[in-house]
Structure 1
Amino acid sequence: MTPDTVSVPADRVTLDGDFAVPASARAVVLLPHGVDNSRQNRRSQSIATELHTAGFATLLVDLLSESEKRRDRQPGEQRFDVGLLARRIVATVDWATIQPATRSLPVILFGAGAEADAVLGASADLPERVLTVVVWGARPDPTADAVKRVRVPVLFIAGGQDTALLRLAEETVHHMEGPHSVRTVPEATHLFEEEGALDQVITTAREWCDEQLRAAPEA
């Protein structure tokens, strides 16, 4: 389906997003970008398409405004400010939860690569509004305060060939008090560029989200 281009107010700037809500959507998945790539990259678009087919609404959002992307001085300063990015994810969740098409839907946060710490930080601040978090290809900081505060269920997906990342994911969940799981794509490296690897990531993430949706009424 063709998403709508939207503007999300956050932290006194406006963030660009792509918003798509299929009929009978079961939840809205937020996929933030801004550290490694933009929301318009092919992999993110592919993930969103697969999620639509599975009955999920999606909001792909760039966490930096257009003026911030163009700014030349001190390159990289804002894009690696985890606190700032986490606040903008919180603002994006706020936006999604007041939209008529998604205000009654559970919120799921996806984070890949460098966005993982910001996604975990935002989920720690929104325990009542975020259903679950899925991160993959990530190198989170296991000592971060936000990791200890996360209470929502978290799934880490790691490439089985990236033993360093796998150890880091296992160390991170060791500091979490909420429900968590670490699952692997056996033949993949941390970028999941091998044939079929990204499909396995999407399948694993979808199955986890289905589990959390089924458990939500019981909770």
Structure 2
Amino acid sequence: MDVRSSAVTIPAGNADLPADLLVPAEPVGVVLFAHGSGSSRHSPRNVAVAHALNEGGLGTVLVDLLTPDEDEVDSVTAELRFDIGLLAGRLAGIVDWLAAERPVGGAPIGLFGASTGAAAALVAAAQRPDLVHAVVSRGGRPDLAGAALGQVRAPTLLLVGDLDEEVIALNQQALGQLTAPAELRLIPGATHLFEEPGTLEQVAEAAAGWFHDHLHPQPARA
């Protein structure tokens, strides 16, 4: 499939964030990625999932949620990677940019979050209920979204390795607090990072199916 790639800078609050935009012809939706703690837009697992989504006709946005200066501080203190409020605010700002600038036209927006990025994605979805139409979490910590879980309206898929027992328990707790349509799905033979052969491919397939089922073109505004 022909996929157009471009490097962009996205304003989000008080930060200008570098991002990689991958857009197939006539995308059926666009998925904004929220990477996990200590990672970046170059996360090999998220890049692999993004390419699989592109093959399925979905646009993707891979973005650094911290500025270079913040990332330098975080590499020493590890404090910002767990600042869910900060990360969610940045994601919400990017969602606003996607809706206003329309770099992928009017394609409906979904969020894909990994690890702590899943919590930020869910908080952002709660903050932008009219713009975010589906959420997928990979090995996520949705429990860190706190009270925002009950405010999420977007259908949410929680993907966890079936060998990742601690995170399974945390996702089960979060599932009970979600009021939107939600599902917890276990990936057989996978640990937390989905490094086992074939497991990341299962994540990509499940995510693509979820987004195709729940991202639908929105009616034009009058």
Q: TM-score, normalised by structure 1?
A: 0.91
Higher mean displacement: 169-178 or 74-83: 74-83
Q: 1:67 aligns with which of 46, 69, 87?
A: 69
Amino acid at match of 1:10: A
Deviation at 1:68, TM superposition (A): 1.4
Match of 1:152 among 145, 151, 154: 154
Change (3 A) 1:104 1:71: same
The equivalent position to 2:12 in structure 1, one of 10, 13, 16, is: 10
Letter in 1 for 2:52: E
Measure the CA separation in 2 of the matches of 1:121 and 1:214: 21
> Counterparts of 1:96-115 in structure 2 under 5 Å?
96-115=98-117
Structure 1 pair 210/143, CA: closer, same or farther in 2 (3 Å)?
A: closer
How far did residue 163 of structure 1 move? 2.4
Q: What are the Cα deviations for residues 96-152 of structure 1, in whole angstroms up to 9, with x where unaligned?
A: 112343241100000011211111100001111111000011123267111121121
The code of the aligned residue for 2:141 comes to R
Counterparts in 2 of 1:7 and 1:129: CA distance versus 1, 3 Å = same
The amino acid that maps onto 1:28 is V
Q: Describe the SS at the equivalent of 2:205.
A: helix
Q: Percent identity?
A: 38
Q: What does residue 50 of structure 2 align with?
A: 48
In the TM superposition, residue 72 of structure 1 has moved relative to its aligned partner by 7.1
Alpha-carbon RMSD = 2.1
Aligned residues: 217
TM-score by length of 2: 0.90
Q: Is contact 1:159–1:188 with CA below 8 Å preserved after alignment?
A: yes
Aligned residue for 2:176? 174
SS of aligned partner of 1:144: helix
Of the three residues 83, 94, 97, the one matched with 1:95 is 97
- How is 1:182-193 mapped onto 2 (pairs within 5 angstroms)? 182-193=184-195
> How has the CA–CA distance of structure 1 residues 209 and 97 changed in structure 2, closer, same or farther, with 3 Å as cutoff?
same
For residues 6-29 of structure 1, the C-alpha deviation after alignment (integer angstroms, 9 at most, x for no partner) is: 111112111110011110100000
Specify the code of the residue in structure 2 equivalent to 1:35: S
2:37 to 35, 38, 41: 35
* Equivalent position to 1:213, from 183, 203, 215: 215
- What residue ranges of structure 2 are gaps of 5+ in the alignment? none
Superposition deviation, residue 94 in structure 1: 0.9
Secondary structure of the 2:172 match is: helix
CA contact (8 A) 2:157 2:185 kept: yes
CA contact (8 A) 1:34 1:63 kept: no
Q: 1:190 to 1:74 in 2, by over 3 A?
A: closer
Larger RCO: 1 or 2 (CA < 8 Å, sep 6+): 2
